[in-house]
Structures are given as structure tokens and as C-alpha cells.
Amino acid sequence: MRIVILGSGSAYGCPMVFNNWRRLQPGNPRNRRDRASVYFEAEGKKFVIDAGPEFRSEINKCGIDDLDALFVTHGHYDHIASIPELSRASTLAEHPIEVWSSEETERELRTCFGFLFNGEEQEGCGLHWRRLPDVGGFEACGVHFRTFRVPHHRLHCSAFRYKDFAYVTDWEDMPAEGIDILRGVKLLVIECNNGLYPEKNGHSDLENVKKVAAEVKPERVVLTHLSARVDYDETTAALPENFELAYDGMELTV
């Protein structure tokens, strides 16, 4: 199973606007981060989770030439900004693209991109809108997944598991049903926005991730959605044995 970290950064990217690096060392290329997104292949189908502002360049840099479905975790800008790109992508691919989101997230999408839903934009017809359950199993493009929601600010964020791979982003607490679904996963890619510096900002930090990992016992933990406070070398030096930081373009297998 091929997995590619398209972007490993937080909502503001790294460096932030005006070339602000905050705690990051500019000389390390792994500190340059687009907004968080991941591509993976399963049973002959191609999936992406989230499509932020750099989606087009991320896809092109990684040589990805097709897409069957997009999973949208929640309605914040850094996770949905490029969804209108998918209408043209569907035309170029000559087939529909499924867009999966929870009822809560779809409300956000309709507010932001009403023209894709109301029939005014012909290319928008290539997007097939699908509803995620809040928790449980679902089938996208004939492939079975499990999902659950985590709290994030005033919203909820959908997390996903496919066999031995799971992806969780933008979370501050892990519900019991999430622990149950993640238990025994081999590869856990999970948000660690605050790194070594805990803060009550709707996001997680290394200590919170370690608590989850102690319960679900993954073989490998890859930390993503990293803010400009999470310097690659400083944080890597503090990680447990089976933990590592994501970086843009990182390829994983499971």
C-alpha cells in the first residue's frame, strides 16, 4: 500500500506569511511544509484526505495523475481551499470524483462553495457528494473504511482507518470509539500540531499522542500537521523509538 504525505504543515504553512519561521531552522528542507494532506492507494483506487491551498502543486510534485475520491476531515480553510480544483480535475480525468464528508462538514462546504452544489457550474457535476457517518464503516469506490470524529475547536473532524493504516488530524481529545477503531493499527499518521509545546488551541501535542499510542499500540507513529513551533531536528531528538515526523513528499508503506 503506497502512502504519500502531500503536506505536513499546519493551517499557516511553514514558513508562515512574511517568511516567518518562528522556532524553525530555515536551513533544514524538512521544515518547509505545505498544508496537511495525504494520498494513498487501496485496492486499485486512489484517495486523498483533504485538499488545502497547495493541493494542485502537491499532487503535481508527487507525480499523482488520477484520483477516485477525496475525504474531507472538516471545514477549515487549510483542509478545503482547493476543493473547487476537483471540478476541473474530474473533467481532465474523464470520470467523476467522489467527495466524502460528514453532515457537519458538508454544511461548511455548501457555505463556502455553493456554486459546486447548485448546478450553476457545469464542471461541478463531475463531483459526486457522499455522506460520511459520524462513526462506523462506509464504502468508498468499493473500498471499505472505518471513520470516527474527534473534537476540534467548535467543529468535529473525521478520522479514517483502512486496514493497518489510520489518519487522524486536528484533534484535542480522543473519544473512546476512536481508541476502539484505532486499536492494533500498524501505521498511525496523526496530528501533533503543538509538538513539544502544549497549548489549549484545539490541537494536540506530543504527550497527547503518546497517550493514544500507549492504548492503541501502533507499530509506527508518524506525526503530521506540524506548526512553525515544531522544528524537525529539535522534535525528532525527543521522540520515542517508533515515532517520527512527517515531511512533504514522504513515502510510507504498510
Q: How many residues does the chain have?
A: 254
Q: Which distant-in-sequence residues (6+ apart) come within 8 Å of 17 by Cβ?
A: none
Instruction: Return the exposure string of 141-151: e unless at least 16 CB atoms fall within 10 Å of the residue's CB, then b.
Output: bebebbbbbbe
- Residue 149: predicted pLDDT: 97
| pLDDT attached to residue 126 | 86
Longest distance between any two alpha carbons in the chain, whole Å: 53
Below-50 pLDDT ranges, the chain: none
Global pTM reads: 0.96
Domain residue limits, the chain = 2-253
Q: What is the pLDDT of residues 77-117, one digit of tens each?
A: 999 999 999 988 998 999 999 999 999 999 999 999 998 88
Contact between 21 and 176 under an 8 Å Cβ cutoff? The reply is no
Cis peptide before 15 (omega within 30 of 0): yes
Residue 44 CA: distances (Å) to CA of 26, 89, 95, 143, 172: 38, 19, 15, 9, 33
CA separation for the pair 119, 252 (Å, rounded):
39
- Strand-pair partners of 84: none
Name the H helices within the chain.
55-61, 77-80, 85-93, 103-112, 114-117, 176-182, 206-216, 232-236
pLDDT tens readout for residues 151-161:
998 899 999 99
What is the CA angle 25-14-169, rounded to 5?
120
Task: Kindly indicate whether the domain formed by 2-253 is annotated with CATH number 3.40.190.150.
Answer: no
